Structure 1
C-alpha cells in the first residue's frame, strides 16, 4: 500500500466551499453525492468500475496533519474556523456503489457518498482521480483481454506512466484479466504475479548475442524468455536455441511486422525442434493490434503504453455531483450537463439464460424487482467504517462473469450503442 498522504490530493475549490459553508451554517446539511458518467468514451460499449478498493483505503487515511493545515492557513486557502474543522476531520458517512469489476453505462450511479456536505465535498477530487484513472485502464485492458481470445497478456507499461499511476494501472489491468505485470511494486502491494525478460541493452552489453543469451540462461535456467530482435530475428532465434536448446520456454519479439514475423518464427522454432518454445510479442500493442494477430501463432502479448493510458481514453469521464440535500432531490439544469436529482438505486435485468438486457435506475425509490434482476450497489463504508471488500481476485472473476453476461455485440471493438441500455424510471 502506498504511503502517500491523501488529504491534499484535493482541489482548492473544495476547501473554499467548506470554509464558506462552515461560516453560513450549511456545512452540516445531510447530502448525497453520486459518481457517474454522462457518456462512454468514443467507440466504447461499456465501462469497467476499478479503483474502489484503493479509494476506500484512501478515504480511511484521509486526515489533515498539522503541517498540512499550517500550509493551508498560511496560504489563505482556509480561515481559522475551517482550519479547526480540518484538524478534526474524519469521514463519518456512508459510501455505496457498484462492485469493482462491475460494468457501467451512461448514467450508472457507480458510487454514492452520503454524509454532511463538508465531509463529502472534500472527497470529490480524490474519488474522481482514482476512479477515472483506474476505470479507464481497466476498460482498455478488458478490451485487450477480449481481443486476445484466451491468450495471456502481461502489463508492461510502467515506464510510460507516473510511478504511482503505474502501480494503479497494473492493478487495474490485472483486475481486467491480464495474467502478469512487470511492476514489482504492484506485485508486492497486491499480490499480482510478476514477469519480465531482458532489454536490448543487455544484449548490447555483451560481445555478441550468444554471450548475452548464455549469461541469462546460466542465471535463470531454460525456463526464461530471450529477446531475439536486437539484430536479426531469425539468427536471434537460432542463437537462442543453440544456447538454451529446444527446452527454452519462450522468445520475445518487440518490433517489425508481427503477423509475418510470428509465422516465420514459429516455423523456424519448429524446424529447430523447439516445438514447445512460446512466442511472446510486444511493441505498442493495443486491442486492435492484438485482434489483428488472432490467427497468428502468438502465445502471449505484452502491452505497455496503450494499457496504462487507457488506449486512447485516458479518463473514464466520471463526474461527482450533488443530487440530494436533507432528503430533497436537487438538480443541475445547465444545458448538456443536467443531472437527475435524488439518490439512485440500480438493478441489471437478465434473461433466464443470464444475458443482460437492461439496466434500470430508480431515483428516490426501489426498483420493481423482476426474476433474474441483480441489485448493483453494495456498501463499502458504513458510518465511516470500511466493510469487508472482495479480494482483487474475486473482483477479477466478477468482471469475467459480467463480460460473459452482456450480448456478444457489446464485446465488439467497433463503435456502437452501449452493450446494455439504461432506463431511468420514476420513483415508486
Structure 2
C-alpha cells in the first residue's frame, strides 16, 4: 500500500477532540459521541470530563472553550468538576443572590407573559379563609419539616384552600388575620402550588406566588411589631409575662389551643427566618429574624424551664429549641460566630416530647452543633495556618471533632422505634421524627466524606 493510501485511510476517522473516561483509561480511540461506540457495545456508562492536556499554546483558550462545550453534552460531567461545588464552602452555602434570582425570573417572564396572561383567571393561589384552615394546612405540608407547634389531638382533615383567582388576589387578600403566626404560615403556604394547577411552573405563576408570599410576610412583620410593643408596654407594669399574655389574648384567640399568644411572634419570626433563607436567599434578613426570635425567647426565660407538664409546656419547649436551631443554622450558613447563644450547660429546658422516637430532637440538634463546631474549627485552622503557629492543638481538635461525628452517627444508625399511644404521638409525628433523623444523617455525611 502506497504512502498516500495509508494517509487517506488514517484520516478516514479523525480523532475526537474529547475522549470518554473509559477510552482514555484503556488508550482506545473514542468517536466522541455520547455514548461512544466502545461503551455502547460494552453496555457501560459513558462520561466525559474536560481535558487539560494537548494543543498548542496559542490556541489554548480556544481549546479550553471547545472542551467545555463538548463536556456540556454529558449531564453528569459537571458533577465531576471540583469547581462546580467549591462555592458550597463559602458563606451562604451556595445560595444565589436575590437579585440574580429576580433577573432570571424577569428574563423567563418575558417569553411567557403573553401566553400566561391570556388565561390568568384559570390559575388560583393557595389562600385560606380561616385560621383553622391555615393551621390544618400547616400540619399537612410543614409540620414534618419545621415542627414549631405541638401535635394536634386528631389527624388533619382534607386540605381546603379557597378557589381565589390570581387576578382577584392581586388586588386584595380575602382573609386578613391579626395573628402574626397565621400570616407567616400563609406566606410559606402561598409558595406551594395547588394540586389542580396545570401551569404551576410558568414564570408568571411562580412570580405571583412569590409576590403573594411577600405580602403575607410583610403583614406578619407588622403584627409582630404591634405585639412586641404591646407586650413591652404591659411588662413594664405587670410582673411576669403571663399577665401580659392574658391582656393580649383578649384581643384575639390563640391560633393553636396549646400554644399561648405570647409565643406566636417567636414562631412567626422563625418561619420568616426560614423563608428568607430558603426562598429569598437573604442570609442577612434570615439572621435578623432568628436573632429577634432568640432575644424574645430569652426575655421570656424559655431557656430556663423545668420539668413542668402543663398545657403550654410542650409549645414553650419547641419555641425555645427551634429558636436555638435557627440561631445555629445562621452560624453554619454564614460561616460565622453563633447568634448570642450561651453555653448549653446554662439551658435547663427539656427537649420536646416524641414518644415513638425520644432521641430524635437530641440527634437533630447535635448534628447542628457539630456544624457550628466545624465552622469554629475552620476559622481556628486558617488562623494557625496563616500565622505559621504550632498545629498540634489543631490536630487534637480535629480528632475530637471526628470522634464526636462518629458517636452521633452510631446513635443515628442504631435507632430502634418505640411503640407509643396514638393520642400522644400520631403517625405524622413519627414521620417528623424520621425526617429529623434523616436531616441529621445528611448533615453528618458531609463530615464523614472527608
Q: TM-score, normalised by structure 1?
A: 0.24
Higher strand fraction (1 or 2)? 1
Higher relative contact order (Cα pairs below 8 Å, separated by 6+ residues): 1
